[in-house]
């Protein structure tokens, strides 16, 4: 049963409030309807008090259905209490099915407890298959344990193929060991071709060594062509050195024409010097010629 004030008491309170003859206060009524602490019941009319009571009933029912701590179950009718408890049991079942820490297993019936146990077993199997440290292998059956072992081997093979520290080579099968070795050889070749300091040239076969040497010469040629540090002129052929000299001369001319630092005027020919002087005059038209 809903707990309410006795009807005579409500009528007496309503009449005493109404006798004060205070004008309606919409803001106060809104506060009372919302259940706010600034509500002044003494300023309400009997009709407004009924509205406030109805608003409380609706708000309390909503709070109870949502499982809020503001729910007052004593104020619910018997049918409302049954509906609220059914909704709470449904929410509890959902929490238990997902392994939530606020699941209350004592509220589960036999069928629900079976469903929850099966869901927990499935979650544990997923953890075991994914290598989670929270896996409880002791509750796996023979088929599940075999699946877990196979998943572990696949993960280990992936780790070894990728060259990860988590690789355990001791559990690799001969065929897997060959795959891992081939992957390591490819990684080393890639490092050598890119000029990485972690390249192991001793692991290269003659064909790979030739490809790495060609890639190194190409990188050196690019550095020399662009005038970068690390250029080794001794690695260049006669034709390449000639091409590099032309590129260096052109870079110097471009710097001189643009008035950039690094211009070496002693390397300019007479026509180039004249062009550089003219470019300077064009950039600085107010400067008198000498």
Domain boundaries, the chain: 1-76
What does the pLDDT average to over 221-245? 90
What does the pLDDT average to over 250-266? 91
Q: Which range has the worst mean pLDDT, 23-32, 39-48, 85-94, 123-132?
A: 23-32
What confidence tens digit (pLDDT) does each residue in 190-205 have? 999 999 999 999 999 9
What does the pLDDT average to over 248-257? 91
Calpha distance 44→42 (Å, rounded)? 6
What does the pLDDT average to over 18-43? 78
Q: What is the pTM of this model?
A: 0.55
Angle at which helix 174-193 crosses helix 206-225, to 10 degrees, equals: 30
pLDDT value, residue 167: 95
Assigned token pair, 286: 């107010």
Among 113, 149, 111, smallest CA distance to 131 is for 149
What one-character DSSP code corresponds to residue 288? P
Q: Does the pLDDT at position 5 exceed 50?
A: no
Calpha distance 276→271 (Å, rounded)? 9
Task: Determine contact, residues 181/189, Cβ cutoff 8 Å.
Answer: no
């Amino acid at each position: 049963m809903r707990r309410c004030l006795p009807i005579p008491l409500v009528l007496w309170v309503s009449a005493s409030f109404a006798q004060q003859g205070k004008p309606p206060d919409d803001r106060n009524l809104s506060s009372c309807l919302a259940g706010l602490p600034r509500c002044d019941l003494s300023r309400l009319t009997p009709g407004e008090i009924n509205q406030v009571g109805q608003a409380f009933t609706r708000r309390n029912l909503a709070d109870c259905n949502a499982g809020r701590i503001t729910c007052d179950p004593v104020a619910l009718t018997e049918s409302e209490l049954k509906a609220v408890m059914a909704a709470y049991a449904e929410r509890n079942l959902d929490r238990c099915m997902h392994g939530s820490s606020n699941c209350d297993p004592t509220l589960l019936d036999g069928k629900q407890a079976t469903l929850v146990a099966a869901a927990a077993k499935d979650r544990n199997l997923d953890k075991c298959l994914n290598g989670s440290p929270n896996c409880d292998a002791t509750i796996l059956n023979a088929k599940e344990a075999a699946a877990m072992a196979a998943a572990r081997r696949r993960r280990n093979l992936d780790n070894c193929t990728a060259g990860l520290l988590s690789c355990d080579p001791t559990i690799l099968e001969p065929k897997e060991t060959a795959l891992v070795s081939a992957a390591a050889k490819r990684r080393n070749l890639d490092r050598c071709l890119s000029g990485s300091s972690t390249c192991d040239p001793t692991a290269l076969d003659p064909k790979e060594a030739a490809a790495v040497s060609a890639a190194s010469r190409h990188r050196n040629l690019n550095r020399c062509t662009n005038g970068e540090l690390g250029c080794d002129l001794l690695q260049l052929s006669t034709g390449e050195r000639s091409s590099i000299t032309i590129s260096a001369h052109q870079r110097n001319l471009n710097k001189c024409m643009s008035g950039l630092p690094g211009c070496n005027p002693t390397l300019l020919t007479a026509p180039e010097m004249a062009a550089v002087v003219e470019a300077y005059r064009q950039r600085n038209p107010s400067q008198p010629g000498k």
